[in-house]
Amino acid sequence: MSGERLTGVSRRDLLSLIGATAGGAVMYHAMTSLGLAAESGYKGRIRLEGDPKGASVLVLGAGLAGMTAALELRQAGYKVQVLEFNDRPGGRNWSLRGGDSFTELDGTTQTCTFDPGLYINPGPWRIPYHHHAVLDYCQRLGVALEPFIQLNHNAYLHSSKAFGGKPQRIREIKTDFQGHVSELLAKATQQGKLDGAVTREDQEILLQALKSWGALDKDYAYRAGEVSAEFRGFAKDAGGGLGAAPVPGEPIALSEILKSRLWRSLQNFALYEFQTTMFQPVGGMDMIGKGFARQVGDLIRYNAKVTRIQQTGRGVTVTYQDTKQPGSTLQASADWCVCTIPLSILSQIQVDVGPKMKAAIDAVPYASSVKVGLQFKRRFWEQDEAIYGGISYTDLPIRQISYPSTGYNAGGKGVLLGAYTWNGPNSYEFAAMGPAERIRRAVEYGAQIHPQYKTEFESGVSVAWHRIPFTLGCAGDWSEEARHQHYDDLCQIDGRIVLAGEHASYIPAWMEGAILSSLDAITRLHQRVVAA
């Protein structure tokens, strides 16, 4: 998000305030109004009816947008060829496993040394239940899914400036915050301070709701006892035999919660885009890209670096290099072109489009994001702390730790997402480091939450998206003004070229946005071809 101010309050602070007070659904709709988020508009599988009469299409990029276009256009009768920079399909739909290597912009090469069966997803890593297009294509392509655990009440909220730096269980902060707020509102209701806004009958119902939602006792107080312990947990859990009675936990004072700012992280579970149920492909996010490649892999030319895009009234010619043969110059031609190259790259390529589309291409910066995957000798988060999946949030530069949503209670080694930054100073700071330093810092910071890091860490891999050659950034980072001025121009068909990708959607940074933009682009392209 940009740092613009709205009536003295930043958009980030405004959205946080809305999320904390009105709930995630309201916040998500507020984000939609600001052009920051939107529901999926998928209405079902497209039908490209009409004869393309042998027309050919050149697709640039074998990410999800490009392969969606290739799959649907070939089924509609087009001759399709795909050029892809990498030596694999999927683009940012990517998983790193032991033996995988990649090179950053400065020439630094990393080789992942994870044990067999372990992986990290440096790009997309979860699928909301309402991303209908992604889910439909997974079903269509035979990509098995499993739950992704976004909310684990036993994971942590951590502030280096509160509670002596000791992480707090999510369930405790969430329950105590709700309980204290419910008690305050119940008192205001009982004192008649809501008489002008709520009817007497509704006040009675409200009191009962607050008692239930806030775990209040018979006196509408939030305090240590069996009622609150049923939500926040026990200081001593129930057992068997002598001395087995549970002991309720002691709630954290409201003032401590407010000062800790830990309540800010609660919105990460309430936001519409993060609500249960979320999914992940069994075996890694790149299973989706591989699923597409099983259908269109024969159309893809890998290691193809596009250097020039030309068009005339009769077709499109693309000049490219084979990255495995430096100095080579090759060309591919077709009647039409669907270009899914990230705008951060496309803006540096000479492309024959009109001034409006060119201005739109140049108007969109890309978000900075860094992920660090860490392999440990054992799954201590499960064995020592009973954390099975989910995410812990922190004010440390790593921002969050995500625990694997698979392989539960199996023992053996495991991989954590040990850092995930998104824009802002932390992201730029990590991106400026070398890979080894990013990993070292992730271990150093993570040890403040899980001391076991110090003895259990084995190896790591880090991806700073601004240093990845095929994208130079994580995702299109539209400002409200740029979207208003340039978005429609970006999505128009310019002669014989149309663009697609998450950057050409109102769901940026999500696979759903990439697929929906592609379906929209090829539908309009097909209509033009048939009409001609």
- Mean local confidence (pLDDT), 261-267: 93
- Quick one: tokens of 96? 């790193």
Residue 41 within a domain: no
How many Å apart are CA 148 and CA 519, to the nearest integer? 26
Question: Strands 336-339, 316-322: parallel, antiparallel or unpaired by DSSP?
Answer: unpaired
- Buried b / exposed e across 97-108, counting CB within 10 Å, b at 16+? bbebebebeeee
Query: 509 and 490: one domain?
Result: yes
- Mean local confidence (pLDDT), 435-462: 98
Query: 349 and 338: one domain?
Result: yes
Question: Model-level pTM?
Answer: 0.90
The domain total for the chain is 3
Residue 196 within a domain: yes
Instruction: Tell me whether residue 213 is exposed, middle or buried, using C-beta atoms within 10 angstroms of its C-beta: 0 to 12, 13 to 18, 19 or more.
Output: middle
Greater pLDDT, 45 or 460:
460
End-to-end CA distance of the chain: 42
- Among 448, 467, 486, which residue terminates a domain? 467
21-25: list long-range contacts, CB under 8 Å, 24+ apart.
23/270, 24/267, 24/269, 24/270, 24/271, 24/272, 24/274, 24/275, 25/270, 25/272
How many Å apart are CA 67 and CA 289, to the nearest integer? 8
Query: 395 and 348: one domain?
Result: no
Q: 45 Cβ partners below 8 Å, 6+ apart? A: 136, 140
Three-class SS of 421-460:
EECHHHHHHHHHCCHHHHHHHHHHHHCCCCCCHHHHEEEE
Q: 149 Cβ partners below 8 Å, 6+ apart? A: 278, 388, 389, 390, 403, 405
Query: 502 and 357: one domain?
Result: yes
How many Å apart are CA 233 and CA 386, to the nearest integer? 13
- Mean local confidence (pLDDT), 205-222: 95
- Tell whether the torsion through CA atoms of 288, 292, 297 and 299 is positive or negative: negative
Residue 163 within a domain: no
Query: 318 and 237: one domain?
Result: no
Look up the domain containing 401 and give its range: 96-125+145-154+276-281+367-467
Identify the residue whose tokens are 């951060």. Answer: 344
pLDDT the model gives residue 303? 98
Residue 8 within a domain: no
State the CB neighbour count (10 A cutoff) for residue 134. 27
Return the CATH number at 439: 3.90.660.10
Return the CATH number at 209: 1.20.1440.240
Residue 264 within a domain: no
3-state secondary structure of 273: helix
Query: 482 and 358: one domain?
Result: yes
Return the CATH number at 324: 3.50.50.60
Omega before 329 cis (within 30°)? no
Residue 19 within a domain: no
Query: 180 and 305: one domain?
Result: no
Query: 185 and 253: one domain?
Result: yes
CB 508, CB 55: distance < 8 Å: no
- Mean local confidence (pLDDT), 226-235: 94
pLDDT score of 244 more than 80: yes
Is residue 101 very low, low, confident or very high in pLDDT (cuts 50, 70, 90)? very high
pLDDT score of 38 more than 80: no
Helix (H) or strand (E) holding 333: strand 330-334
Is residue 39 very low, low, confident or very high in pLDDT (cuts 50, 70, 90)? low
Query: 383 and 354: one domain?
Result: no
How many Å apart are CA 517 and CA 532, to the nearest integer? 23
Please write the tens of the pLDDT for every residue from 332-385.
Answer: 999 999 999 999 999 999 999 999 999 999 999 999 999 999 999 999 999 999
How many Å apart are CA 112 and CA 97, to the nearest integer? 6
Query: 317 and 342: one domain?
Result: yes
Please write the tens of the pLDDT for every residue from 496-523.
Answer: 999 999 999 999 999 999 999 999 999 9
Query: 245 and 182: one domain?
Result: yes
Is residue 44 very low, low, confident or very high in pLDDT (cuts 50, 70, 90)? confident
Residue 441 within a domain: yes
pLDDT the model gives residue 256? 96
Q: How many CA atoms lie within 13 Å of 134's alpha carbon, on the beta-carbon side?
A: 29
Residue 234 within a domain: yes
